[in-house]
Chains A and B, each alone.
Chain A
Amino acid sequence: MVVVEGPGTDTTMDAESTPYHEASEPSWLQVNDGRQPVATGDGGREWLFPGVDEHFRGIYTRAGLGYTSEVVAVCSAIGGEGKTTVSVGLGVTLAQDFPDSRILIVETDVTSPVLATDFDVDPTPGLVDCVHAGESVQLAYRPTFLENLHVVPVGGPLRGAGRVLRSIRMASAIDAMRETHDLVILDVPPILVNSDSILITDLADCVICVVRMGVTPLELVNKAISQLDAEKLRGVVLNGANSAVPGWLRGMWAQ
């Protein structure tokens, strides 16, 4: 199923439409089971939201990602806008579309770590643990079902994690990531909530800002964007588009 946005198209996708129980990995409900996953590569799992990869494909194409080695920061004005969702989506799509490229998703939000839980991997040692201890950041790499995709949980909890992220070691850690992976996706904390995010985005080559439609006020979006380096900002991803207006009426309006 391919989702094409436009008037008359319901922008809500339903995971139920996929026979997820018939996915290639029947044990997906107990992913990893506490062990490191075995990457399945091609012929692995199907998208639970069919067609959503096309949306991510459009985003990375417009952002110009995947063709050069770079570090991209995914940020937002406030929390809950879908930064991690976009980061994971972009990482998975890029890993599938560019099998020769190595993709790394790095979680940097110490206040709400989710990546380890989502992928059911060990939360420690994570990014801040390695940076704080001065160890190689590669210790925090976690493999996924996709051979060329790795995730780095933020780790912790650690006192003074903010200081760690602001330290010079953090820059070194990101440089180390550049060497091991072609594309590093930094999942950055909300800009207007956590001041660390500005420093982290400064370490990145480009920035993508995620905006939750129907939730984030325009003033906050403008305020967040104004704090970013305009030259690094590749653009905005509007997340959660969901019009309450019936499709037939939207179609009439579009005409």
Chain B
Amino acid sequence: MRKLLEAFFRHKWLVLLPPFVIAMIVAPIAYMTMPVAYESVVGVWVDRATYLDPRAQNQFVSAAQAQSSQLTELLHTRSFMVDVAQRTSLAPLLSSKAGEGRVADLLDKGVTVTAVPNGTHLLAIKARFTTPQLAYQVAQAVVDAYTDRNANQLVDQSTTAIGFFQSQLDNAQDAATKASRDLSQYALAMGYASSGDGAPISPDMQSATAFDPQFADLQAKARFAQQQVDQARVALQNAQQSSAAAAQGADVGFQVIDPPQMPTAPVTQLKNLIVYVAAALMVGLGLSTVVLVFLVAGDRSIRAETDLVPPVRVLGTLPMLKVKHRLPKPVRASATRRAIGFVAGSALPAPRGTR
């Protein structure tokens, strides 16, 4: 450790300079060679699918987060990537395998989907490319491709949901009809009602629930059956609404608030520049470490009494003695010795200006 510290402080510039020098070389090169980028941003309002039971959805993930993950994952699929690329000037690249790979790489690096911080429904789709046209095209294409895909998916899913909710409604209505009929028949039989055709129930009937548990049970069943019918009807209506909206291309769960604009000025790439400089600093630090290790390993000189191996009796340690006066060159090497011998008669030449 002592040798390490000694080597560091003795050659501090040699050790400290590499990180800064490399960073200072890399920063302007990175700045000059960094491609100009244009960014087009789309703001989207997203919501959950209305035909799904809210209780079945994860309440800890916001609609924006869910859609963001979905869209990001979709961007990594070949079919979606091709769908997006075909809507842009990148389409010709899709003719070859290599070109397709290049498109995938461009979209992977150029398109980012993020949920707006502190928001639950707002989604930002950013397309960053070397030309403003491409940035705009890709941003628009992502939105269009996703909307189309969503619409088709929504139609399929809502059709399935409509069928499901319809059958549920039918079943619920059958159950409600049966429960109502049972109630009416019982009420008629017991004399709580005048007729079984749905005529108003007599006032006695209101009090009959208090003393006739079977009648109360039938009433509760009828009410429950009616609630099931109502719920099924609401779900069916939501599914039908979604289906209708999807059919018309107006998905209420994915509404573009801020459509993409053609960028007019390039974006600053400060973040990339910082990354490059930080990487250069890290490389420089590594180099400094290597230099330091070599300095320590290469220093075989004696810097402390303990360095003497095998141990030899040390009579004393003389400090470094320096004469700081400006002296003529020929006597500079002997200045310390002359200063020590001064007591006995040796002497240093007069400092400049004292003669």
Would you call B313 and A88 a contact (CB within 8 A)?
no
Would you call A91 and B344 a contact (CB within 8 A)?
yes
Would you call A236 and B308 a contact (CB within 8 A)?
yes
Known: A47-B343, A118-B337, A214-B302. A82 touches B315 (CB 8 A): no
Spot the interface stretch: A26-34, A128-136, A156-164: A26-34
Would you call A219 and B325 a contact (CB within 8 A)?
no
A240 contacts which of B315, B318, B346 (Cβ < 8 Å)? B318
Would you call B343 and A241 a contact (CB within 8 A)?
no
Would you call B348 and A29 a contact (CB within 8 A)?
yes
For residue A42, give the distance in angstroms from its CB to the closest CB of chain B.
Answer: 11
Known: A5-B319, A12-B319. A216 touches B343 (CB 8 A): no
Would you call A242 and B320 a contact (CB within 8 A)?
yes
Complex Cα distance, B337 from A144, in Å, reads 15
Q: Mask for B330-347, Cβ within 8 A of A = 1, else 0?
A: 000010111111111111
Measured CB to CB, the nearest residue on chain B to A21 is B354
Complex Cα distance, B341 from A92, in Å, reads 7
Chain A, 29-83, CB within 8 A of any chain B CB: 29-32, 37, 44-49, 52, 55-56, 58-59, 62-63, 82
- Collect the chain B residues with CB atoms within 8 Å of residue A238's CB: 302, 305, 314, 316-318
Measured CB to CB, the nearest residue on chain B to A91 is B344
Does A86 count as interface, using CB distance less than 8 angstroms?
yes
Would you call B320 and A145 a contact (CB within 8 A)?
no
- Collect the chain A residues with CB atoms within 8 Å of residue B322's CB: 12-15
Q: Mask for A211-247, Cβ within 8 A of B = 1, else 0?
A: 1011111110110010000000111111111111110
- Collect the chain B residues with CB atoms within 8 Å of residue A47's CB: 340, 342-343
Chain A, 70-113, CB within 8 A of any chain B CB: 82, 84-86, 88-89, 91-92, 95-96
Does A183 count as interface, using CB distance less than 8 angstroms?
no
Would you call A214 and B315 a contact (CB within 8 A)?
no
Would you call B314 and A236 a contact (CB within 8 A)?
yes
Would you call B314 and A48 a contact (CB within 8 A)?
no
For residue B96, give the distance in angstroms from its CB to the closest CB of chain A.
Answer: 62
B313 contacts which of A32, A95, A236, A242 (Cβ < 8 Å)? A236
Does B350 count as interface, using CB distance less than 8 angstroms?
yes
Does A120 count as interface, using CB distance less than 8 angstroms?
yes
Would you call A89 and B6 a contact (CB within 8 A)?
no
Chain B, 1-48, CB within 8 A of any chain A CB: 1-2, 5-6, 9-10, 12
A242 contacts which of B308, B314, B319, B349 (Cβ < 8 Å)? B319
Interface of A is mostly: mixed
Would you call A86 and B339 a contact (CB within 8 A)?
no
Does B300 count as interface, using CB distance less than 8 angstroms?
yes
Complex Cα distance, B316 from A234, in Å, reads 11
- Collect the chain B residues with CB atoms within 8 Å of residue A28's CB: 342, 347
Would you call B319 and A241 a contact (CB within 8 A)?
yes
- Collect the chain B residues with CB atoms within 8 Å of residue A58's CB: 315-316
Would you call A85 and B302 a contact (CB within 8 A)?
no
Measured CB to CB, the nearest residue on chain B to A239 is B318
Complex Cα distance, B310 from A37, in Å, reads 45
Does B303 count as interface, using CB distance less than 8 angstroms?
yes
Would you call A235 and B346 a contact (CB within 8 A)?
no
Measured CB to CB, the nearest residue on chain B to A47 is B343
Measured CB to CB, the nearest residue on chain A to B333 is A80
A114 contacts which of B303, B313, B337 (Cβ < 8 Å)? B337
Would you call B321 and A13 a contact (CB within 8 A)?
yes
Would you call A216 and B319 a contact (CB within 8 A)?
no
Complex Cα distance, B336 from A39, in Å, reads 22
Would you call A245 and B9 a contact (CB within 8 A)?
yes
- Collect the chain B residues with CB atoms within 8 Å of residue A138's CB: none
Does B275 count as interface, using CB distance less than 8 angstroms?
no
For residue B324, give the distance in angstroms from its CB to the closest CB of chain A.
Answer: 5
Would you call A88 and B346 a contact (CB within 8 A)?
yes
Would you call A211 and B9 a contact (CB within 8 A)?
no
Would you call B337 and A5 a contact (CB within 8 A)?
no
Does A249 count as interface, using CB distance less than 8 angstroms?
yes
Would you call B6 and A244 a contact (CB within 8 A)?
yes
Interface residues of B (CB under 8 A from A): 1-2, 5-6, 9-10, 12, 300-305, 307-310, 312-325, 334, 336-350, 354-355
A-B contact pairs, 21 of them (CB 8 A): A12-B320, A15-B323, A16-B324, A52-B319, A55-B317, A56-B316, A62-B315, A85-B340, A91-B344, A120-B345, A214-B301, A221-B302, A235-B312, A237-B316, A238-B318, A239-B317, A240-B318, A241-B318, A244-B9, A245-B6, A246-B9
